[in-house]
Structure 1
Amino acid sequence: MDAIIATRLSYIAETYQLLPATHKGGRKLRSTEHALHYIIDRIYDAWNKGGGMVASLLLLDVSGAFDNISHRRLLHNLRKRRVDEKTVRWIASFLGERQTEFSIDGFQSEPYKLTTGEPQGSPLSPILYLFYNADLLDRCSQDENTAATGFIDDVAILAWANTTEETCTLLQAALREAEDWASSHASVFAPDRFQLTHFTRATSRIDTSTPLQTRWGVIKPKPTCKYLGVTMDSKLRWRQHIDEMERKVSKTIAALSCLGNSAWEVRTKEMRTIYRGVAMPQMMYACSAWSNAGWPDNGYTQKTLRKVQSLQGRAARVMSGAYKATSLRALDVEMHLLPIEQQIWKHNIEALDRIGAPPMRPTRQAQRRRTKTSPREAIQKTIHDREVNNWTQEQIDPFVAPPWWQGPQTYIEETAEKARKKHLDLLRQGKAAIHIYTDGSGINGQIGAAAVSPTIQQTRSSFMGTENVSTVYAGELQGISLALDIAQQDRVEGYRRSKVIIYTDNQAAIRSSARPKGTKLAD
């Protein structure tokens, strides 16, 4: 039941924009890369303003974030952000009457009632915490030179100005707002785990040693900080992150080498699956930020590319048992691995597709002032340079339909004989219905869709493009859409039929029509 409420709460939060847009975690179609690029884009924007501003990042840490949630304050925040009363009351009941007990060295305490916290592991916990600390992000972003973003309980505050003294003043004001929020929400910050970093490439002009004065003491800036698993250095050169990633992947490859021992009897195919499922995500994590997309334009990036290529080469030798001098290209081919530069390009395209392209600059003069290019802009520029001028993005909604929406009644028979029998039954029983047959197909590299209704002698067809831009599955869905167009036109012309019965031979398309998820095509 809590999973159902979590889905419904997420739906109303996204549909009616009940949460700050800067809350990136625990939400559909958002990831850590959204939060990272939100920060990185604003750092580059600051660097491109005037003579080059400095951006200071403060990472907050809340002790026992989920365990210290005040139930009364959470319910108040839900009502404040316009969640319906029935849902709020259900959540109050869900959080109430919770008990716990301690067992230490054989001693068992009596059960006692919990008035704070929420059950970790419940699908409802992340979305509830977003509502709980949403005010924190709003209050820390009040100044026009300050921005706050959150990934569930990880909150980052970024301030930009001409000097680090000014940015620290802005961060102090934001931190006071954060303290007020904490006092009213029964939350406790852990200042010993705060991180402060001044981002600038003009180290001779800007003092990067300016500390932040707080009521807990002085927070000294560090040349690097770790945010959402990514090590960010003050110049955004990413050397430290690459080194850390290399160490992590090397350990994975060493473990893979142990599995390759004959005693374990792990086959090459299984080792490749482990490599792609463990080592590859470790390498590719947030590469849309650190790869900068334009490999040929930066010497250090070429060095980084060689490092990552070397990691894949080592893994391929472990999996295949090849000699050390074997060509990396040959190893990629033999082990059916996508070359690293292509893997990074693929990841960057997918990341830009999820996050969205950077905003267009209004004038050429404004564009010329941008002497430093953010990773997102670099990816976009590479796409343009490759002459993909007609590349457009489709807006994907988090929810295609409300969670409570009931889809059409569907029938998928086990055999062709049963399907033919069901078809005849529907024809006999549905004489007052409109019957429409659809299909999607690919012929000679061309994808098309069609719908035919013998009931009213109507047809529709659509060309979906080549197989490079479309699929047969998309054609099947388009065929169903054309069928609905025929039914709608029939209704506009004044016919009031009791049913619309659509026949198609693609089971995946039938299931998608009944329970659409995350795609405009199935809307």
Structure 2
Amino acid sequence: MANFTLFADGTTVSHTANSFERSMAQSLAAQDEAELWFCSNKLLLNKDKTKIMVFSMRGLPGDSDLVGEAKFLGVTLDRRLQWVLHIDSVAGKATKGIYVLRSLSSCVSVAIFKMAYFAVCHSHISYAIPAWGHSSGVHRLFALQRRAVRVVSRLGYRDDCRDTFVKLGILTEPCLYIFENLLFVKRNSNYVTHGDVHEHNTTHKNNLVPPYWRLRRCQDGPGYWAVKFFDVLPEGLKSLPFKDLKV
């Protein structure tokens, strides 16, 4: 059964299958179904922008004929969800942002400088970070973030900037990843606690139960780590409304 995700004028169809052949057959059938619906409603499916992408941790037959990457709502997806291509894209945007900040260094105040940082660097680093912030390449973005913060605070290239993050009120990339995962839990409140599963009065009965994944690789998404991060929060922070936690 296909799942349809709609956003503005974009439509994404997804499904799971236990074989490559079945996956391709279901993809083509879903595309035909979508095209029929478009025609029935006097709409046109843009086939030039329509891509079929198979996600798998294994090698696939006819590998060279398949789409190896695609952009979805501003996030670059690769077929194994290793996020290398997306991090390359974000790193390029952050590098350009640092160049912009250096150009402003002699003509704006620190307050304006900070606003510019959030516009040209921080916005790219934080966008959709719960999905890809666990990947091994994020250290590159953290290095670029530190470089940007040094520019904003007019520090030298090798000066320590740990206190500067605190002074400017800017979350580091690792902290930003954890924070956005916590907000993910608050936005999606349909979680089960250990107390819902059993009646024993245990210490962790109010903790959320993370979803079960057979493979460790599958634990890298926000559905797993968001719960893990949330469970170690003090009870006072767990009970805060979303708007208060976000502040």
1:253 aligns with 2:95: no
Greater helix share, 1 or 2? 2
Residue of structure 2 in register with 1:200 after alignment: 56
Q: How does 1:442-453 map to 2 (within 5 A)?
A: none
Residue of structure 2 in register with 1:230 after alignment: 75
1:346 aligns with 2:179: yes
Q: Which runs of 5+ in 2 are unaligned?
A: 199-208
Quote the Cα distance in structure 1 between the aligned partners of 2:119 and 2:17.
Answer: 43
* Greater gyration radius: 1
Distance 1:237 1:359, change over 3 A: farther
> Does the 8 Å contact 1:256/1:318 carry over to 2?
yes
- Greater relative contact order (Cα < 8 A, sep 6+): 1
Distance 1:393 1:328, change over 3 A: closer
Q: How does 1:430-469 map to 2 (within 5 A)?
A: none
Residue of structure 2 in register with 1:286 after alignment: 128
Residue of structure 2 in register with 1:127 after alignment: none
Out of 99, 107, 113, the position equivalent to 1:271 is: 113
Greater strand share, 1 or 2? 1
RMSD: 3.2
Shift of 1:333: 3.8
Secondary structure at the aligned position of 2:77 is classed as strand
> Does the 8 Å contact 2:150/2:161 carry over to 1?
no
Quote the Cα distance in structure 2 between the aligned partners of 1:369 and 1:360.
Answer: 20
Residue of structure 1 in register with 2:86 after alignment: 241
1:316 aligns with 2:163: no
Q: Report the number of matched residues.
A: 230
Give the TM-score taking structure 2 as reference length: 0.80
Q: How does 1:8-407 map to 2 (within 5 A)?
A: 143=1, 146-203=2-59, 206-207=60-61, 209=63, 220-260=65-105, 262=106, 265-292=107-134, 301=136, 303-304=137-138, 306-356=139-189, 367=212, 369=214, 371=216, 372-373=218-219, 374-384=221-231, 386=232, 388=234, 391=238
> Does the 8 Å contact 1:198/1:208 carry over to 2?
no
Shift of 1:276: 2.0
Residue of structure 2 in register with 1:435 after alignment: none
Quote the Cα distance in structure 1 between the aligned partners of 2:29 and 2:54.
Answer: 17
Distance 1:309 1:328, change over 3 A: farther
The one-letter amino acid paired with 2:121 is A
> Does the 8 Å contact 2:70/2:77 carry over to 1?
yes
Quote the Cα distance in structure 2 between the aligned partners of 1:238 and 1:321.
Answer: 32
Q: Which runs of 5+ in 1 are unaligned?
A: 1-142, 211-219, 293-299, 397-467, 470-523
Give the TM-score taking structure 1 as reference length: 0.40
Shift of 1:186: 1.6
Quote the Cα distance in structure 2 between the aligned partners of 1:191 and 1:341.
Answer: 39
Shift of 1:196: 1.8
Residue of structure 1 in register with 2:201 after alignment: none
